[in-house]
Structure 1
Amino acid sequence: MTRDPEKRRSVPPELGAYLADLVHRTRDVCGPRLVSVLASGSVALGDYRHGRSDVDVTVVVEPDVPPETLRELARELAHPRLPCPAAGLELVVYDADFANRPSGAAGYLLNLNTGPLLPERADHDAAGTPAFWFVIDRSITHRNALTLWGRPAHQVIAEPDPAALFAALRACVREHTDGEGHLADNRVLNGCRALVYCRTGRWTPKRAAGRRIAATDPDFRPLIEAALHSFELPRPAAAALPAAEVRAFLSRVREQVDRAADATGAAP
Structure 2
Amino acid sequence: MNRPALPPRELRSYLEELVHRTRAVCGPRLVGVLAVGSLALGDYRHGRSDVDVTVVTDPALPRTALPELAGALAHPALPCPAAGLELVVYPADFAARPSGAAGYLLDLNTGPALPERISYDPRDAPPFWYVLDRSLAHQCGLPLFGGPVREVVAAPERADVLAALRASVREHADGEGHVADNRVLNGCRSVVYCRTGRWVAKRAAAEAVAASEETFRPLVADALRSFARPRESALALPRPAVRDFLAWVAERVDEAARAAGTGGAPTG
TM-score exceeds 0.5: yes
Bin for the TM-score computed over the shorter chain: over 0.9
1:61 equivalent in structure 2: 57
Please give the alpha-carbon distance, in whole angstroms, between the structure 1 residues aligned to 2:14 and 2:195. Answer: 36
Please give the alpha-carbon distance, in whole angstroms, between the structure 2 residues aligned to 1:266 and 1:79. Answer: 42
Please give the alpha-carbon distance, in whole angstroms, between the structure 2 residues aligned to 1:186 and 1:266. Answer: 28
Which runs of 5 or more residues in structure 2 are unaligned?
none
2:16 equivalent in structure 1: 20
Which one-letter code corresponds to 2:41 in the other structure?
Answer: L
1:259 equivalent in structure 2: 255
2:195 equivalent in structure 1: 199
Please give the alpha-carbon distance, in whole angstroms, between the structure 1 residues aligned to 2:109 and 2:241. Answer: 30
Deviations 1:212-263 (A, max 9, x none): 1111101011100000000000000011111111010000000011101111
Please give the alpha-carbon distance, in whole angstroms, between the structure 2 residues aligned to 1:16 and 1:127. Answer: 33
Which runs of 5 or more residues in structure 1 are unaligned?
none
- 4+ runs deviating over 3 angstroms: none
2:243 equivalent in structure 1: 247
- 1:170 correspondence with 2:166: yes
Please, what is the CA RMSD of the aligned residues? 1.1
Please give the alpha-carbon distance, in whole angstroms, between the structure 1 residues aligned to 2:5 and 2:244. Answer: 35
Contact kept? 1:162, 1:266, Cα under 8 Å: no
Which one-letter code corresponds to 1:120 in the other structure?
Answer: E
Secondary structure class of the residue paired with 1:253: helix
Contact kept? 1:83, 1:115, Cα under 8 Å: yes
TM-score normalised by L of structure 1: 0.96
Distance change (3 Å), C-alpha of 1:128 and 1:81: closer
Secondary structure class of the residue paired with 2:87: strand
Please give the alpha-carbon distance, in whole angstroms, between the structure 1 residues aligned to 2:22 and 2:35. Answer: 13
Please give the alpha-carbon distance, in whole angstroms, between the structure 1 residues aligned to 2:11 and 2:254. Answer: 37
1:215 equivalent in structure 2: 211
Please give the alpha-carbon distance, in whole angstroms, between the structure 1 residues aligned to 2:127 and 2:251. Answer: 21
Identity of matched residues, %: 64
Contact kept? 2:106, 2:118, Cα under 8 Å: yes
1:83 equivalent in structure 2: 79
2:133 equivalent in structure 1: 137
